[in-house]
Amino acid sequence: MPAPPSGPAPDEPTGPDGPDGPDEPDHYPLAAPQPVDPRTADLATPPAGTKTCVACRAGRVDRDGYCENCGHAQPRERDHMEQELDAVAAVSDRGLRHHRNEDAFAVSATALPDGSPAVIAIVCDGVSSATRPDDASLAAAHTANETLLASLPRGAHPQQAMHDAIVAAAEAVNLLAGEPRTAQQQAPHQNAPACTLVGAVVTPTLLVVGWVGDSRVYWIPADRGAPPARLTEDDSWAAQMVAAGLMSEAEAYADDRAHAITGWLGADAYELEPHTASFKPDRPGVVVVCTDGLWNYAETAGEMARAVPLDAARRPLHTAQVLVGHALDGGGHDNVTVAVLPFPAPPQGAGSA
């Protein structure tokens, strides 16, 4: 039989007087770590190509959008966007009440066949009750812009080019409805991806606008003694009531149904009816292209003119920033997107002062 294990007998004391000397303590006290301030901690620089936290400016952002150092949730790329080109600028912001930005914009500049400049701004507002409204607005803005960039240099009339751009944008949004990702996200009560679209093309002599939905274009003369104007008519319940003579404008827009749109881009739209119009302003000014996230706080042309800085033609980006700020100061209940184009379009490369 094997020998019993070596060591003290079961009843032999093992305390201080035991054969092995003083007993070991049951636990070892540990000193508390020194607190580390993430703002001053000597953290390793995140590898190239990784995002750095906007809060502590040191930690790496993980795939879920959180800082690995301080745990701060990072803003989405589309929460706030700004872009400025030679003679056009746009700003888009999520607003204060929505969890994501479902608006999108595209701005660009090209040359007509005679070498004169053409400046483009497209603004789209995703329909929140639809599936993937953010993807719909992005697809529409990108497609309309690319269509105009292709057709204007070939000599298409800007008004016809705008019509064709809206049709192409609608087709791009329709395609989203057939993607597997849409089917996975779509609930039975939701509609296919959908958005509104409004756009403007400015040349040295012509201003063309096009739209479907309730996003708008405003004309603000540089001479504030001249009257401003709204250049689009909403595809909305309120606009229909006013047009039919059933309500005054004030009554219609005070109704809870006022912002129900009657026209949009999307596979389940009743029918596509692109609206376009051409203008030949007789004086300089700026064109404001915006979603209802702005015009809810500056609805009439006069209210919009008062919100637009006097130096708007020289500082389109600053003007777009001011107008977005105006909406946020008013409550920011919706996503807000604004593009600003000076008229007439300056020569390419001239930029803004």
* Secondary structure string (H, E, C) spanning 264-296: CEECCCCCCCCEEEEECCCCCEEEEEECHHHHC
Question: Is the pLDDT assigned to residue 188 strictly greater than 70?
Answer: no
What is the C-alpha separation between 177 and 286, in angstroms, rounded?
Answer: 37
Which among 335, 338, 340, 339 is positioned nearest to 79, based on CA atoms? Answer: 335
Residues 6+ apart with CB under 8 A from 269: 170, 194, 263
* Domain residue spans of the chain: 44-71, 85-343
Q: Are 88 and 124 in contact (CB under 8 A)?
A: no
Q: Which pLDDT band, with edges at 50, 70 and 90, does 61 fall under?
A: confident
- In CATH terms, the fold of domain 85-343 is Phosphatase 2c; domain 1 (3.60.40)
Q: Which pLDDT band, with edges at 50, 70 and 90, does 37 fall under?
A: low
pTM: predicted TM-score of the whole model, two decimal places: 0.79
Q: Which pLDDT band, with edges at 50, 70 and 90, does 89 fall under?
A: very high
Element (DSSP H or E) covering residue 304: helix 301-307
Question: Is the pLDDT assigned to residue 11 strictly greater than 50?
Answer: no
Question: Is the pLDDT assigned to residue 58 strictly greater than 60?
Answer: yes
Task: Answer whether the bond into residue 344 is a cis peptide, omega within 30°.
Answer: yes
Mean pLDDT of the chain: 87
What is the C-alpha separation between 325 and 91, in angstroms, rounded?
Answer: 10
- pLDDT (mean) for 12-20: 44
Higher pLDDT, 300 or 186: 300
* pLDDT tens column, 117-153: 999 999 999 999 999 999 999 999 999 999 999 999 9
Q: Are 85 and 348 in contact (CB under 8 A)?
A: no
Q: Which pLDDT band, with edges at 50, 70 and 90, does 199 fall under?
A: very high
| pLDDT score recorded for residue 1 | 46
| pLDDT score recorded for residue 75 | 74
